[in-house]
């Protein structure tokens, strides 16, 4: 699964991941491979990325997340 995390100035992270856990309006949710198309507003919290051998955490204040055909785009 591919992910691109960006803000108005630059791409913050781009690459392959196994899963992402994100803070939605009604709490944290997780996206795995072959997830149905999905859009969510993100709240204050952390994006938790699971890569092959590493776990990465990115603090956020708000944003939008879109999933479509194993591609995730996060706009902060």
| Per-position pLDDT tens, the chain of length 76 | 999 999 999 999 999 999 999 999 999 999 999 999 999 999 999 999 999 999 999 999 999 999 999 999 999 9
Q: What is the pLDDT of residue 23?
A: 98
Strand-pair partners of 74: 5, 65
Task: Go through the domains of the chain in sequence order and give each one's CATH number.
Answer: 2-75 (2.60.15.10)
pTM reported for the whole predicted model? 0.93
pLDDT value at residue 3: 98
- CA proximity to 65, closest of 21, 12, 18: 21
């Amino acid at each position: 699964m591919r992910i691109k995390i960006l803000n108005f100035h630059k791409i913050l992270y781009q690459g392959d991941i196994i899963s992402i856990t994100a803070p939605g309006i009604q709490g944290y949710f997780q996206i795995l491979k072959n997830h149905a198309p999905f859009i969510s507003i993100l709240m204050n919290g952390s994006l938790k990325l699971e890569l092959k051998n590493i776990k990465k955490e990115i603090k956020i204040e708000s944003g939008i997340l879109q999933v479509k055909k194993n591609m995730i785009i996060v706009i902060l």
